[in-house]
Each structure stands twice: as C-alpha cells, then as structure tokens.
Chain A
Amino acid sequence: MTESVSLEQQLAVQSIRRFLKSKTSYDVLPVSYRLIVMDTSLLVKKSLNILLQNNIVSAPLWDSHTSKFAGLLTSLDFINVIQYYFSNPDKFELVDKLQLDGLKDIERAIGVRPLDTGSIHPFKPLYDACCKMIESRSRRIPLIDQDEETHREIVVSVLTQYRILKFVALNCRETRSLRRPIGELGIITEGQLLSCNMHTPVIDVIQLLTQGGVSSVPILDEQNRLVNVYEAVDVLGLIKGGMYNDLSLSVGEALMRRSDDFEGVYTCTKNDKLFTIMDTIRKSRVHRFFVVDDSGLLVGVLTLSDILNYILFEEN
C-alpha cells in the first residue's frame, strides 16, 4: 500500500515537472493584467505608499536615464533602510530624501550583499524560471523581454513562487496523487528555528529576518507554542508614512498595525500530505506553513521554496 503511494507520488512529481517544462512563464500570465513599475528617481517613502495603496509588496524598478530594468523593490529594501536608520539615527534627513536608486548605497553602508537581480525571458520554460529562483534564493523573478523595434528592455511581469505553485495546484491533476506524509519527504526545515516572543522589540525581529535570510519569524509563547508570525512584509505597515520612530515597539504592538485582511498563520503537521498543502495554496494566499505537533508546539517550517525544490529536483 505505502509502496504504491510512493510510486504514485514519484510519477506525479515527474509529471508536474514535465508540465513545468512544457509551459512558459508567459502561459501563467492572464490575458490582461496590470504591472506597476516605479521610476528609480522616486523617493523611497513614496514608493512605500504606492505599494500599500496598490496592495502589493514588490514592484519592478525602471531607470529612465538608461531605459533599463533596475531590479525589484521588495520588503527587504525597506528592512535595509530601517536597519540603516536604526544604527544611524542622525541620518534622518538622508533617509527621508532617499531615492530608490540610493538603496544600493544603503546596502553597502550596512554591509549586506545585494540581491541577485536575475531575470528570465517570458518564453523560457517555467521550469527554468523556477530553477533560477531557487538558485538565487529569491521568491520572485522578473520577466524581461526586448522590444522588437527599439531592442530596449521591457518588463513584462514578475512571477513569484506562490503564483507558480498556485498555477501547478490549479492546473495539474497530478497533485492529487501527492499522498505521502510531508514528514517522510525530508522537505521540512526543522531544528533550531529563529523565533521570538510577543515582547521582543520589533527591531530585533527585523534583525532576525535579515540574519536568517528568512521571510518570517514565528512568535511563540512561554510554552513554545506558536501564537503568531512576523513577516517581512509587515515592515511596510510599520514604517508607513515615513514613520521610523516606531522602531521601539514590541513585536506584539507592531502587529497591531497589520491590516485587517491578513490571511492568518497557516500550520500543518508532519502527517499532512503535499496534496492538502497544494490545495491550501490553491485556495489561499499562503507563503509558508508552520509545522506543529499535536500540542501546538512548533517543530519546523515548510516554505514555498521547500515545496518548489522538492518538485523540481526530487523523486527522480
């Protein structure tokens, strides 16, 4: 019985992989869609408002002097600015007047390695786009094409790991055959997870985000039970309106700034099947699953890249 389940899972993963190879990034795009692009001479604080207004967490940047794609603006950039300001509180003027093209200087000043701004052509297989994302450890990949006449770059769209997995969940019947418990697959990140409690200062949590290179930090109570999570995208709400003076808040207080449409924290157990996980991805905007045991103690985390990694490279 378990053998046939394993075999089915193996075949299903291979089939999904074939699907990813047969489709292109272009196929994931709706017939009509919007894309919000920001000029690199825009002020950082204004770009934050634009993200919040449009309910997005990242946007491609455009350098109008060179007519070139200039990377992606993500929550990580704002985290960098926060950290810079926290260690240089006298530089408020600089932070206030900071333009998007000045973010590179901030990265240099606080000594973080700039993210790889890898991109891919929309007509390359989806599989390649996924591999590129896993390689560069980024959660999104810009689709860049060239204009046929001017040969200048066009930013076509940006794909995220979530969109690709949702696309798979919606369009691959084979996900139904993924019935092995995720605990068996070795895809969960276990062991010493970074975590905090409700009283941890939010700035410490933000530092944990960058130190660990993670997109969220679980918040635990005294008994190590999962009570909430602080996400990288939550910093957008924290510094809304250019308010950098709220950095002394505790993470619990900072979470009060979160908008009402917060999806919630998704958990699963080691006995859940990948099929159930994919089904949840299909239905909800979820970016990671915290793995808990029966008593609610946190035992690990299953990220979208863990799932993508498994589909791309395992079960050969």
Chain B
Amino acid sequence: MGNTHSRGTMSDNNKDVSMIDVRNTNDNDKRGSQRAIVQSFSKLDIGDHDGSRAPLLRRRSTLIFDDDDDAPRHEENVEDQSDLNEFESHISDSSSVASLQQQQQENPSWLKLQAQREQQDQEQQELQLQMEQQQQMKYQAPREPFEDQSGSRSGSEPPVNSNAKVMVPVEITWQQGGSKVYVTGSFTGWRKMIGLLPVADQPGCFHIKLQLPSGTHRFRFIVDNELRFSDFMPTATDQMGNLVNYLEIATPYESEEHLQQQQETLTVDNESHMLQQQVPQPSHKKQFSEPLSARSKLALQIEEEPDDMGDGYSRFHGAKEAKPDLSYTTDIPAVFTDASVMEQYYLTLDQQQTNQQSMAWLTPPQLPPHLENVILNNYSVSSEQGDSGSENNSGSLPIPNHVVLNHLATSSIKHNTLCVASIVRYKRKYATQMLYSPLQ
C-alpha cells in the first residue's frame, strides 16, 4: 500500500503532499541563467514599497503578492523579445503534472485568454507576460512569512501578511472580575503581559486598546495570577488542548464604499470566485484613485481598450451600461467542455508560435506560490517529533492562509489509492479534510 503520507516521505521530502507535486524543483538548477534573471527580478522589489500604495496592497492582502511594485521593472526588462523566449522555454520545460487545484486556480487567466482570441497578436504577448509573472511570483514565494506556520506549534502566530504593517485598533475587554488583569497572546509571542485598565463604573470590567496587525490572534487572560479565557469571546483549543480566545482581525479596506460592499458579497464560499474577480477589480480602482501599477497596465493591455475594464466593473454593480460584446457569463466556454474544440484551439495556438518552442501549452502553467504552502506538510506525525508531536493528538494544524481554502490538493497516486485534501471553513474554524479513496 502506498505511502501517500508516510513518515519517511514527510521527513525526507516535505513537499510530497499534493499541490507541490506539479513543481519540479530540479528544473531550477538546470536553468541557472533563467533562474538568475528571475532572482534578480525578485530582488528588485525588496524595499521598494511606496508608502502611498501600501493600502492597496493590504486590500488585496495575500491574494496577490506585492509584485505590483516590481512589475514595472519587470515589464521594462521583458520588452526584449529574446528574454521572453527564454522564459517561455523555461515554462514549457518545467514541471510536469497538472493537478486539479491548479486548473482551478488557472482558469481565470485561461478564460480571459479565451475571451479575446481575436486579438491574437496582442494576446500572444500578454500570455507570455502573464506566464512570466506567475513565474516571478513563484520565486517570490520564499519571502512570504509562511515559516511562521510551522512555528505555530510553539505558540507563534500564523501568517500575517508581511505587507500589513498598518495596525488595526482592537478593544480587548475582560468582564469576569478579578483585581489585576493582563492579556498575553500570540501578538506578544506569549511572553509579554499587557495590563488591562479597569473600566470606570463597571466593577470587574477591564479593557485595553491594542494595535494589532490583521490576521488571527490567540490570547488568554491572566487574572490574579491565573490563566483564564473569556466566556465572551470565541474560544478554541490550541495544540495542547488549552482553551484560548481568538480574534480574527480582517484586513482593513479602503474607505470606498463599493469596495466594502464588494467585500461583503464575497462570502466564505466564494474564495475561488474571488480569485476570478481579482484581475479586473483592482485595476479599475487604481485607474481612478492611484497611478497605474504595472499589473493594472498589464490587465488593461490585455483588454486592449482600457475603458472597457472600468465599464465592465461598473456594470457589475448595475450602474452603467457596457458594451454588449463583453459581458460576464456563467457558461463554460466550449474550449473547456468539448475536446475537439479544445484541440482546435491549442492547435491554433501552436501554429502561432512558429518561432518558439511548440507545444508549450502542453505544460500547465506554474502553480501560484501561495498554493505551494500546504499546511498538511507542516503536520508532523508524533513519533517523528518526540514530545511536541505526541501532544498534538487532536490533529491540530497551523491556521491556513485564506487563499488556500476551498482548493483541492491531491497526493500522488500510490498503490491505486488517491488522497485528496481540502481546507474548508467550518463556522469559525478550519477543517482540513483528507479523503482516501481507491481509483475505480
């Protein structure tokens, strides 16, 4: 029987489970030159944060990483056609297997491509740009603070986007008596205790206003030298099984009302939908409020007529009438449902790439970096980790980044058994369900 999640695999190769399977890391070594270029790209943006743009990035939080900032340079660089070709070949060579969740993730861009088949020349270039951007995102991944997740076993907090430097004021109250009340939690690394102030006229009530970054914070109260949790706030057990309070602090959004509405419409179940909407919306907003970022420019170029993007967005709210030939639909394009149409489409695509590597479309696009961090890979089987592992018998996992929710991860098929996993919200908690099933 297959060691789909065997101990050996877990320790030797943490990436065995699922999403990572599509990536072949060795490819990087084979292409030192391309890699060097990409690396230099990803270095470019370090410290390149423009203060005025910070809120934007926060709004988008972890959905798309901060490649807005480095994209302009990247675009300059890729004007050289030869560079483009290099990337193209890199993409076509690298990686191997299409996994389900990858398809899901990539659909937006493919749909987009499909919608504008007439604009072939333009599209050709854009496709490359897009792919390249993905490529770039991939290499940026190490900068993301995912390491925190593995450390959360010892109490440190799962990822708060590194961009989210602006704090959110949060009022923490204790209503259950005592004379000296402190709060300690993941936001202080469980080391420092912050004293709460008594509320005037309300005996037994204490409060403190803290500036906290967005994300999930866990904390407990120390009331007269005793660790307690509040009955008035959400509770959950930590890895040890202790009850702690936790708060999820939403990423602060810009005050524009339509953005808030939009956020509200994006319910929990709509994560994947959100990804699809991602491309048009930010560009629209920036079009009016901010100087265009490279990504927005890119998005606009794809549509060829920049105004359409704005119109398309407004039409979403029913405000303006849009051009009839561009509209949202729930119909799946035939290219995805009809094998013969699909073949035709790719053959056409192939013919256009006469001067480049053919059959490039055979290789699936790169996996977005945030999907490469599978929290299941952070789960350690107890015997491997000594004491720390055996404490974790409730199956406790690090708190997942919300972008990985509702994706389907798969393990490689071994001994005719497939394991699929999906992280879903269950009320205010996250359930990572793994289903083992035979191939039939």
Contact = CB atoms under 8 A, between A and B. Distances in A.
Nearest to A33: B395
Given A46-B415, A54-B5, A163-B241, A34 B437 contact: no
Pick the most buried of A31, A35, A64: most chain B CB atoms within 10 A of its CB.
Answer: A31
Interface string A91-134: 00000000000000000000000000000001000000000000
Nearest to A262: B383
Pick the most buried of B3, B237, B428, B430: most chain A CB atoms within 10 A of its CB.
Answer: B237
B342 interface: no
Contact of B6 (A37, A53, A122): A53
A204 B435 CA distance: 35
Interface residues of B, number: 55
Contact of B431 (A35, A41, A54, A167): A35
Contacts of A35: 395, 431-434
B380 to A, nearest CB: 10
Contacts of B270: none
A66 to B, nearest CB: 15
A171 B237 CA distance: 10
Contacts of B1: 45-46, 48-50, 241
B372 to A, nearest CB: 18
Contacts of B375: 32
A29 B379 CA distance: 16
B438 A41 contact: yes
Contacts of B238: 30
Interface residues of A, number: 50
A26 interface: yes
A28 B383 contact: no
A265 interface: no
Contacts of B243: 27, 167, 170-171
Contacts of B2: 49
Contacts of B397: 30, 32-34
Pick the most buried of A27, A50, A62, A260: most chain B CB atoms within 10 A of its CB.
Answer: A50
Given A34-B397, A156-B426, A46 B438 contact: yes
A260 B383 CA distance: 8
Interface in B384-398: 390, 393-398
B381 A55 contact: yes
Contacts of B415: 46
20 contacts: A26-B427, A30-B238, A30-B429, A32-B400, A32-B430, A33-B397, A33-B430, A33-B431, A35-B395, A36-B434, A37-B433, A38-B436, A42-B437, A46-B1, A54-B5, A54-B381, A154-B426, A156-B431, A173-B226, A261-B382
Given A31-B218, A42-B437, A171-B229, 18 more contacts: A26-B427, A29-B236, A30-B238, A31-B236, A31-B428, A31-B430, A32-B397, A32-B430, A33-B432, A34-B434, A38-B437, A39-B437, A41-B437, A46-B436, A157-B431, A162-B393, A170-B240, A259-B383
